[in-house]
């Protein structure tokens, strides 16, 4: 819990502060006076004032930050007090200042993705398991052990990249050209992909009948007092054979153990490059259906081929731009489909779910946490650009109306828009919290 709270606070602090820094940086270059830049909210813990008159503060609640500008002209400071006011700026400068916050979030995402690309990350290789008989993947001629190296001429290096490209293609449905490599031979297959309108709900890889090629089942841990411990099995052992089957999958091992409660089972394991026969007697336990099933008390994983995904500096930056654009556009499409009723609003997540993902990725490692920061930074940028009053996009909408009309909207209409925007955002927050709590308790 503590890790989750710290990871969540750090994420919000970084993303919101960077957002506000975008407003600050462009405002200063447009000649607007910035009164305060605060990292955090609430009581000020420390502060200093720079030569431009901006107060830099660190506040007690580390959940973001804010920028306070001189909004209205200050005649008491003479012409300078008028020129430095936000409202004194041209509409195009005001657009630049307001748009800078969301754009800085997108720039941050590009930088984070580029950093991951340059540092390199180890990911599961895009090697597929056997497609089920009768599926489009099977009909296309895909086989177990095929390494997918491209989809529609987009190069694929890892399973994560493959999943993203499949999800992108499935949002529209239709066919896709799959480039594979096996035993040094390259082939191109054409596979028919179903249209998946709700990717967060429907796993795109399962819908495409593609699974990760797992090798030997690996014992990750052994439960104290269980049958496996009694038989001498250890964490790190690879199960290479069960009666009647060599090179079994995790599912093969689990199914066989469950079918033999209380019966001696001989497993062949690989330990320290040696193969050892081990006899284990699965303990009989009752399943949810009331039937006896065998358990030996281990947690199984799988030995999966890994690949190092790394790019040069220029390619890393370009890939960061592409990934940020693809993620942002995908988010906009999903929002549009929610409005049309094609995608469930249950996919809207709130602070509880975001905090949970922050904690999970922080526990996995730095690379996973940085990827999480990049994803949320894109989401924050896209959300703030929506034309909803109270958000940056709402202010941009007012400025566009001002350009078209030649004058700003009336204060009456602005007030109505602000109330409508506040109501809409409150409703979205309630829905997001409801979804969070539903996921938490179910």
In a domain? residue 8: no
Banded model confidence at residue 374, pLDDT cuts 50, 70, 90: very high
**In angstroms, what is the C-alpha Rg of the chain?**
28
pLDDT value for 111: 96
Helices (H), 30-65: none
pLDDT value for 442: 65
Same domain, 321 and 374: yes
Q: Residue 173: is its pLDDT beyond 60?
A: yes
In a domain? residue 390: yes
Same domain, 111 and 227: no
Q: Can you tell me the mean pLDDT for 406-422?
A: 86
Integer Cα distance of 43 and 205 in angstroms: 49
Q: Residue 399: is its pLDDT beyond 90?
A: yes
Q: Can you tell me the mean pLDDT for 410-428?
A: 87
Q: Are the beta carbons of 86 and 100 closer than 8 angstroms?
A: no
Q: Can you tell me the mean pLDDT for 104-133?
A: 90
Give me the torsion for CA of 13, 18, 21, 23, rounded to 10°. Answer: -110
Same domain, 174 and 292: no
In a domain? residue 177: yes
Banded model confidence at residue 48, pLDDT cuts 50, 70, 90: very high
Q: Residue 198: is its pLDDT beyond 60?
A: no
In a domain? residue 33: no
The 3-state DSSP class for residue 66 equals strand
CATH assignment at residue 208: 2.30.42.10
In a domain? residue 56: no
pLDDT value for 90: 92
Q: Which of 20, 84, 165, 179 does the annotation list as catalytic? A: 20
pLDDT value for 201: 53
Same domain, 332 and 393: yes
When comparing pLDDT for 138 and 346, which is higher?
138
Q: Residue 321: is its pLDDT beyond 90?
A: yes
Same domain, 195 and 176: yes
- Quick check: is 55 catalytic? no
* Angle formed at CA 163 by CA 160 and CA 166, multiple of 5 degrees: 150
Same domain, 266 and 331: no
Q: Can you tell me the mean pLDDT for 145-158?
A: 89
Same domain, 221 and 293: yes
Same domain, 204 and 233: no
Last residue of a domain, one of 249, 281, 304: 304
Which structural domain, as residue segments, surrounds residue 286? 214-304
Same domain, 290 and 234: yes
Q: What is the pLDDT of residues 69-98, one digit of tens each?
A: 998 888 877 788 888 889 889 999 999 999
Q: pTM value? A: 0.73
pLDDT value for 310: 87
In a domain? residue 24: no
Number of compact structural domains in the chain: 3
Give, rounded to a whole angstrom, the gap between the first and last alpha carbons of the chain.
19
Give me the torsion for CA of 22, 433, 334, 23, rounded to 10°. Answer: -10
Distances (CA, A) of 425 to 67, 334, 373, 421, 436: 21, 18, 23, 6, 16
Same domain, 148 and 226: no
Banded model confidence at residue 196, pLDDT cuts 50, 70, 90: low
Integer Cα distance of 238 and 276 in angstroms: 10
Same domain, 178 and 229: no
Same domain, 236 and 347: no
Task: Tell me what percent of the residues of the chain surpass a pLDDT of 70.
Answer: 97
Q: Which helix (H) or strand (E) holds 305?
A: none
Task: Return the top range by mean pLDDT from 278-287, 332-341, 371-380.
Answer: 371-380
When comparing pLDDT for 171 and 140, which is higher?
140
The residue written with tokens 């469930």 in the block is 344
In a domain? residue 278: yes
Last residue of a domain, one of 242, 277, 304: 304
Mean pLDDT of the chain: 87
Q: What is the pLDDT of residues 10-29, one digit of tens each?
A: 898 899 889 999 999 999 99
In a domain? residue 48: no
Last residue of a domain, one of 196, 213, 230: 213
């Amino acid at each position: 819990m503590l890790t989750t709270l710290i990871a969540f606070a750090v994420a919000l602090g970084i993303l919101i502060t960077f957002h506000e820094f975008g407003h600050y940086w462009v405002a200063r270059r447009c000649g607007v006076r910035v009164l305060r830049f605060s990292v955090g909210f609430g009581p000020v813990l420390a502060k200093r004032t720079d030569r431009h008159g901006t107060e830099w503060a660190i506040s007690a609640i580390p959940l973001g930050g804010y920028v306070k500008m001189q909004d209205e002209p200050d005649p008491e400071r003479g012409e300078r007090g008028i020129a430095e006011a936000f409202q004194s700026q041209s509409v195009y400068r005001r657009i630049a200042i307001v748009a800078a916050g969301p754009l800085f979030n997108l720039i941050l995402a590009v930088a984070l993705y580029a950093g991951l690309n340059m540092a390199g990350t180890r990911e599961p290789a895009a090697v597929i398991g056997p497609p089920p008989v009768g599926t489009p993947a099977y009909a296309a001629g895909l086989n177990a052990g095929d390494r997918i190296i491209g989809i529609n001429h987009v190069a694929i290096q890892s399973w994560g990249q493959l999943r993203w490209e499949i999800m992108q293609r499935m949002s529209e449905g239709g066919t896709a050209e799959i480039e594979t490599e096996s035993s040094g031979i390259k082939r191109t297959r054409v596979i028919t992909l179903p249209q998946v309108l709700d990717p967060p709900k429907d796993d795109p890889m399962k819908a495409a009948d593609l699974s990760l090629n797992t090798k030997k089942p690996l014992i990750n841990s052994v439960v104290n007092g269980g049958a496996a411990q009694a038989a001498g099995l250890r964490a790190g052992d690879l199960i290479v054979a069960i009666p009647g089957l060599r090179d079994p999958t995790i599912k093969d091992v689990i199914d066989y153990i469950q079918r033999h409660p209380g019966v001696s089972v001989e497993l062949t394991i690989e330990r320290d490059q040696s193969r050892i026969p081990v006899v284990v007697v699965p303990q009989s336990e009752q399943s949810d259906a009331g039937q006896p099933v065998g358990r030996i008390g281990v947690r199984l994983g799988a030995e999966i081929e890994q690949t190092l995904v790394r790019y040069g500096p220029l390619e890393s930056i370009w890939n960061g731009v592409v990934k940020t654009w693809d993620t942002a556009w995908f988010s906009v499409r999903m929002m549009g489909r929610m409005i049309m009723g094609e995608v469930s609003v249950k996919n809207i997540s709130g602070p509880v779910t975001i905090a949970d993902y922050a904690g999970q990725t922080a526990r996995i490692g730095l690379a996973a946490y940085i990827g999480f920061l990049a994803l949320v930074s894109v989401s924050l940028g896209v959300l703030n650009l929506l034309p909803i009053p109270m958000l940056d996009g709402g202010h941009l909408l007012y400025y566009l109306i001002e350009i078209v009309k030649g004058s700003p909207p009336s204060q009456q209409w602005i007030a109505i828009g602000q109330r409508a925007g506040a109501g809409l955002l409150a409703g979205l927050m309630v829905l997001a919290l409801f979804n969070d709590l539903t996921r938490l308790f179910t």
